[in-house]
Amino acid sequence: IDDEDLRRSYLDVVYEKMARDYPLEAFEKQLANRTDSKIDSKDIRRLKAIAKDDLKAALRILGNATDETSRRSIALAIAAQYAAQEPAQALEWVQSQPAADRKQLLKAVIGSVASIDAELALEAAQQQKNQVQRNQLIRSVVKTVAKQSPRDAANLLEGIEQKSDRIVAASAIAKDWLKKDTSAAIDWLLNTDAEVSDAIFKDRFAAKQIQLDEAQAIVAALPEKYRATWARAVADRLTK
């Protein structure tokens, strides 16, 4: 076919059919067939499938990418699957990626690792020097674990070194736990690290997570040092 655009359109159809039996080969040929290497949503789905079946092949595609934007899209597409298969190696891999891409990649990798090895994910999150990013990643880890077991998420607090990070994690756990099982969450808060308890009970957000009638009943059962804050939070809700 002499017409370049027509030839490319024809080959695209061929590679679409080929992808059913040879997804990796078809993807590489289709990418090479384009005038640019822009990655679209269909490519992302294919890359995720390739990474699931053949992680090394997906990494090879990444290594062969020359366009910076496409390279970033490919890396993000395979990051979670890389973390699911090789969590420790995936965390190391992120550090070898361009600095501009690391934040997004680390978020994807740690989010995936958290469901497999929460302690490893938490350790990686705490290594981040930027406090905002570190707190975001810590919250991501504990929330992932808390979906399955708030108690397990709470146990992770022992592995968080800095007090401020521990409070961030505890607040993330408490926010959902108080809604799902108020009595269990309150019991945990009353018996956990005193610094964590103080930070959460003295913040009105905790009282706002609970049904109003239940929050009213809890006020009287709290230690005296927390009652005033909770009583004000309940009063605010009653007057609205």
Which residue ranges in the chain fall short of pLDDT 50? none
Predicted local confidence at residue 14, as pLDDT: 80
Q: What is the pTM of this model?
A: 0.80
Q: What is the pLDDT of residues 38-89, one digit of tens each?
A: 777 888 888 898 899 889 989 988 988 877 888 899 999 999 999 999 999 9
Which pLDDT score is estimated for 37? Answer: 64
- pLDDT exceeding 70 applies to what percent of the chain? 98
What 166-170 contacts at long range (C-beta under 8 Å, 24+ apart), as own/partner pairs, is 166/193, 166/195, 166/196, 167/195, 167/196, 167/199, 167/200, 168/135, 168/138, 168/139, 169/138, 169/139, 169/141, 169/142, 170/196, 170/199, 170/200
Q: What is the pLDDT of residue 97?
A: 92
Identify the pLDDT of residue 132.
94
Q: What is the pLDDT of residue 204?
A: 79
pLDDT of residue 77: 92
Do the Cβ atoms of 37 and 74 come closer than 8 Å? no
